[in-house]
Amino acid sequence: MALIIFDCDGVLVDSEPLANRVLNEHLRAVGLDLALDESTALFTGLSMNSSVALIEARLGRRLPARFVPDLRAATEHAFRGSLQPVSGIASVLERLRSPSCVASSGIHSKIRRSLELTGLRRFFPDGRIFSAEDVSRGKPAPDLLLHGASRLGFAPADCIVVEDSRPGVLAARAAGMRVFGYAERTPSRVLAAAGATVFTEMAELEALLPD
């Protein structure tokens, strides 16, 4: 029996357009003026720590202390009004026979709130939610995926990861896990080049996953 490890943002909840719009506005406010598609390509799938390191490298200076809490609050506000589940994912989770969990670059409170807002929390009890907060290195490092698998008693070779971003696919490959890449918002060629088996509709994922 395989463990199916779901990424949260972009795989379970359709948060990337909302989160990337808020991030883009906050980047502009600190002097990093990027087109929305450019900042989306740069930051999608990164943990907050990895994002901050990248922003500071681009700016050549430290971010103000309020940047992260302000960004988190604004993102949460945007989610509260309009966060939706990814199209077709509820049906995949309803029919899933294999054990599953979430491994997300978000913090625990954000993951739980996102799942609650979209009606998906019932599929993931407390012991099946893993966050970048639980490990020292977020994606694209394999640490979070290895941590979740180990906590649930699965070897990496018995895990299947469902991801939608390049850092997430790289994390899965570095962990020695199979990975299915949902190419709704990241180009198929980017996910395939990182090592994913690509699919474009959640209905296809049902056929890829083991019975």
Query: In this complex, which beta carbon is closest to Mg ion, that of residue 45 or of residue 140?
Result: 45
Query: In this complex, which beta carbon is closest to Mg ion, that of residue 21 or of residue 30?
Result: 21
Q: Which residue has the tokens 């939608």?
A: 164
Collapse the DSSP code of 131 into the 3-class scheme (helix H, G, I; strand E, B; otherwise coil) and give the result. Answer: strand
The answer to the question of residue 148 lying near Mg ion (CB under 5 A) is: no
Collapse the DSSP code of 3 into the 3-class scheme (helix H, G, I; strand E, B; otherwise coil) and give the result. Answer: strand
Query: In this complex, which beta carbon is closest to Mg ion, that of residue 138 or of residue 156?
Result: 138
How far is C-alpha 187 from the geometric centre of its chain's CA atoms?
A: 16
The answer to the question of residue 14 lying near Mg ion (CB under 5 A) is: no
What residues from 153 to 172 belong to the interface with Mg ion (CB under 5 A)? 164-165
What residues from 40 to 59 belong to the interface with Mg ion (CB under 5 A)? 45
- Transcribe 146-186 into DSSP letters: HHHHHHTT--GGGEEEEE-SHHHHHHHHHTT-EEEEE-SSS
How far is C-alpha 207 from the geometric centre of its chain's CA atoms?
A: 22
Among the listed ranges 4-12, 85-93, 118-126, 174-182, the one in contact with Mg ion (CB under 5 A) is 4-12
User: In the complex, what is the shortest distance from the CB of residue 62 to Mg ion, in angstroms, rounded to a whole number?
Assistant: 27
Q: Footprint of Mg ion on this chain (CB under 5 A)?
A: 7, 9-10, 45, 164-165
